[in-house]
Amino acid sequence: MNALIQTIAIAALPVVFAITLHEAAHGYAARHFGDPTAWQAGRISLNPLRHIDPVGTVLIPLLILIFSAGSFLFGYAKPVPVNFSRLRNPKRDMLWVALAGPASNLFMALLWAALLKLAWELPVNDFTVPLSEMSKVGVIINCVLMVLNLLPLPPLDGGRIAVSLLPYPLANKFAQIERWGFPILLLLLFTGILGQVMYPLVQMAAGLIETLFGLY
């Protein structure tokens, strides 16, 4: 039990920021490209409290941590409202709004990697040890969310990117998958297919970041 509490304490901050700032990034990008919906709803904020979903950001990650003994983590925040029809060029700008979320996770993974490097360079003390462990979680959870959201399945960000890039007839047909996107994602998760697809991609992303910062 003590180990679980320690794991939750270490993982809480990087997980909450990884999930919530991902959504905030969508809102910032949407406003930049002409849609003020998220801004009008007060969702363009770096304050995680504005994006936390009690179930997706707190309960589900907590239960997964408990039942997986800290070996797996997943969660989500309240989706930022985006009205794609209000973008200046809806089909083109959809790509950048969708890409903003995974890009924010890449940025946070790099930031946590820099903090991990700092923790390793400083003398070992009561501050550097938890910072090191927290940073490790930060790198991994952000790599997981980045890879997951880049999968080409609506309503994931990768699905919206695909819709933006496909010609109009194909884009319209592909976008219709969105109503089944979440059930398909759950099916892939519980059959283990999602893990088989994501694991090597997450390992590759984390490995590249570790190489970049010399985290050996």
Residue 102 CA: distances (Å) to CA of 43, 166, 201: 18, 20, 14
Respond yes or no: is residue 210 known to be catalytic.
Answer: no
From residue 16, alpha-carbon distances to 83, 97, 113, 120, 187 in Å are: 25, 21, 17, 24, 25
Rounded to a whole number of angstroms, the distance between the first and last alpha carbons of the chain is 30
Which of 170, 176, 183, 112 is CA-nearest to residue 146? Answer: 112
Structure tokens given for 108:
């946070």
Task: Give the residue numbers annotated as catalytic, written as ranges.
Answer: 23
